[in-house]
């Protein structure tokens, strides 16, 4: 399977399936103007087929005041990785999020910025980032600054444990002290109780955006909107081990949340029933070898 490096310069459906070119990256002239109008492409040709050890994917929507300090924190947190990249996916922001990210490119050379022309939702933004990523290991975190990038090394250490190489598909953060309103914490507690009764995936904090997983495992999952809330369930369905790590949670300093308890409840019921159907229709992980 080819890498998705060159997908950074394509739009629409091509973004998810373009294989990387080997050797020197070539951008057709007729595409260059189009790419510049749809993505934060700065005109510099880079060898995006070069492998890196870690890709950090951050979906953002209208977070102009949060992205710069968050990007700097991420860069500091993963400074110990030999080769890494940070991918922000701007999901159709209407403020200055894209401009704030573009201004950081000279300061943070590993920063890549992808912009959706319209708002497609958090799950699609995460998938866009994972498809564009060059590393086999992915870390995601929310773009509002509430997830602490300093916790990234803890998740990576758990994912890379030697006793079960490549069997740990996902390490999910668990917010030990949530910095949310009382109503949101109460709604989350109720939703998790219903989820446990129906899905039985041992997830006590499925809404934590801080996760580390293997790219190939993520791309093997059936995609649907809001899949980011069910990665734990679906990883278990595919036969991967899932681990949990306590992480820090911080108050939001700028902007407002894009979710309410009511809209989460409306989509949550349908999603739960759909994921339960996927669980029941799965016949087990295929163990296959070529003879």
For 106-157, the pLDDT digits (tens) are: 999 999 999 999 999 999 999 999 999 999 999 999 999 999 999 999 999 9
Residue 5 has pLDDT above 50, yes or no: no
Q: Taking the model in full, what pTM does it have?
A: 0.75
Residue 223 has pLDDT above 70, yes or no: yes
Residue 187, C-beta contacts closer than 8 angstroms, at least 6 positions apart: 261, 264, 265
pLDDT at 197: 67
For 55-76, the pLDDT digits (tens) are: 999 999 999 999 999 999 999 9
Lay out the sheet containing 211-214: strands in order across. Answer: 111-116, 84-91, 54-60, 137-140, 211-214, 168-175, 241-247
Residue 187 has pLDDT above 50, yes or no: yes
Mean pLDDT score, 29-36: 45
Domains of the chain and any CATH numbers: 51-280 (3.90.550.10)
Mean pLDDT score, 205-227: 91
| Stretch among 206-215, 252-261, 266-275 having the lowest mean pLDDT | 252-261
Residue 227 CA to its chain's centroid (Å):
11
Residue 260 has pLDDT above 60, yes or no: no
Q: What are phi and psi of 216, to 5 degrees?
A: -65, -35
Residue 14 pLDDT class (50, 70, 90 cuts): very low
Query: For 105, left (φ over 0), alpha (ψ -120 to 50), or beta?
Result: alpha
DSSP characters over 164-179: STTTEEEEEEEESS--
The CA–CA distances, whole Å, from 190 to 81, 201, 234, 264, 272 equal 38, 16, 21, 12, 14
């Amino acid at each position: 399977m080819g890498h998705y490096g060159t997908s950074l310069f394509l739009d629409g459906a091509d973004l998810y399936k373009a294989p990387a070119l080997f050797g020197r990256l070539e951008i057709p002239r007729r595409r260059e103007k189009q790419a510049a109008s749809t993505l934060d492409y700065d005109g510099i040709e880079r060898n995006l087929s070069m492998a890196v050890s870690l890709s950090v994917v951050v979906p953002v929507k209208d977070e102009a005041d949060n992205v710069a300090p968050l990007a700097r924190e991420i860069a500091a947190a993963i400074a110990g990785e030999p080769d890494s990249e940070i991918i922000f996916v701007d999901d159709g922001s209407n403020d200055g999020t894209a401009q704030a990210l573009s201004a950081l490119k000279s300061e943070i050379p590993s920063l890549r910025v992808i912009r959706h022309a319209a708002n497609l939702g958090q799950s699609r933004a995460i998938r866009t980032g994972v498809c564009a990523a060059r590393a086999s290991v992915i870390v995601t975190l929310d773009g509002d600054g509430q997830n602490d990038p300093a916790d990234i090394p803890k998740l990576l250490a758990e994912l890379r444990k030697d006793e079960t190489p490549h069997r740990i598909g996902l390490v999910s953060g668990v917010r030990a002290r949530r910095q949310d309103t009382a109503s949101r914490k109460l709604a989350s507690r109720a939703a998790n109780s219903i989820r446990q009764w129906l899905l039985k995936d041992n997830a006590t904090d499925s809404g934590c955006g801080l996760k580390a997983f293997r790219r190939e495992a993520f791309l093997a999952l059936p995609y649907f909107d809001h899949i980011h809330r069910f990665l734990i369930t679906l990883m278990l369905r595919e036969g991967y081990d899932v681990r949990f790590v306590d992480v820090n949670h911080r108050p939001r300093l700028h902007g407002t949340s894009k979710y309410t308890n009511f809209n989460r409840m409306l989509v949550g019921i349908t999603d739960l029933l759909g994921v339960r159907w996927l669980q029941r229709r799965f016949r087990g992980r295929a163990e296959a070898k070529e003879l």
